[in-house]
Homo-oligomer: A and B are copies of this chain.
């Protein structure tokens, strides 16, 4: 199982926007912070926008959250960049023998258990809001008592 870096990048940019609402966070700025190409950020922007989590405007460069950070969970961000469909997450082997008792039933037998696993993942990620992450970030910053620049 593998979740692409787009998920952590998506959380990264959402946290920048939620945590520092006065900063102008362009794809260029976010790309430097995330250590990747600005186009990667723009693609993530597009997915987050498509999932109604983010508001972006061409030429403006001022991205804002589409709703309060208390109402955006890790699961929301996950779904924006990755599929939540069980069939997409757990790939079944195809062409199973339909004359074999196991081959003809394995799919319908496993499907509910895979659904349950996805539900468990959803439940766990749904517990964490962007506001939670923001507070954890603020705590970390405070505890480090740092005077570094916010972005660099």
Contacts and interface: CB of A to CB of B under 8 A. Distances in A.
The size class of the interface chain A forms with chain B is 35 or more
Interface string A98-142: 011111011011100100110111011100100001001100110
B36 A95 contact: yes
A25 B124 CA distance: 39
Nearest to A32: B97
Contact of A152 (B12, B20, B97, B110): B97
Given A93-B34, A97-B32, A11 B106 contact: yes
A22 interface: no
A34 to B, nearest CB: 6
Contacts of A99: 148-149, 151-152
